[in-house]
Amino acid sequence: MNTHPLRLTGLGLILRPWTDDDLDAVQALFDDPDVAHRTPLESPFDPGAALRYLDGAERARRAGERVHLAITTDGVTACGEVLLNRTTRSIGYVVGAAHRGQGLAVRALRLMTEYAHTTAALPTVILEIEPDNGASIAVARAAGYRPSASAPETVTDKGRTYSLHPWEHTHPAA
């Protein structure tokens, strides 16, 4: 399925492309009530949803729109995902419940932010975070992001309406 060579390493992590072998890990990662609450992904996130997600991620990569990488510490076991949306200049991340509390999200966000600034040549990247998502706000702050002056976006999804507040990181050379 995925044959592109992008791997980001550092900070004790290996961020690598998803593969067909990750189907079960993708399903477990996204079929979580906390993840379902905070993302527009299908819920429940069954094997079909996982396959559709991986196929969509690969199509978006080939189109140059997004990069989805599995967060690993060993290059094999997927603990989460970090993605760069080149179109919106935004980064998203999720860490599986069994792997939280290890600083994986902060480290993955730092690696992807550096990639966005240097390789993807995006001088500023954003995160979109709900104001009551304390864990994600802590990750953003720890990775050097600051609240943006831009207006929040109001979203309606899965029967609830909420605001996504932008956080930004600007490359020091910009």
Structure tokens at 85: 């949306």
In this prediction, residue 27 carries a pLDDT of 96
- Rounded CA separation 107/103 (Å): 6
For residue 2, name the pLDDT band (cuts at 50, 70, 90). very low
Judge contact between 90 and 127, C-beta under 8 A: yes
In this prediction, residue 173 carries a pLDDT of 85
What tens digit of pLDDT does each residue of 44-96 get?
A: 999 999 999 999 999 999 999 999 999 999 999 999 999 999 999 999 999 99
For residue 174, name the pLDDT band (cuts at 50, 70, 90). confident
- Rounded CA separation 57/141 (Å): 27
What tens digit of pLDDT does each residue of 115-152 get?
A: 999 999 999 999 999 999 999 999 999 999 999 999 99
Residue 69: partners with Cβ closer than 8 Å, 6 or more residues away: 6, 8, 15, 16, 17, 18, 81, 82, 83, 108, 112
Percent of the chain with pLDDT over 90: 94
Q: Cα–Cα–Cα angle for 120, 125, 162, nearest 5°?
A: 135
Q: Does the model's pTM come out above 0.85?
A: yes
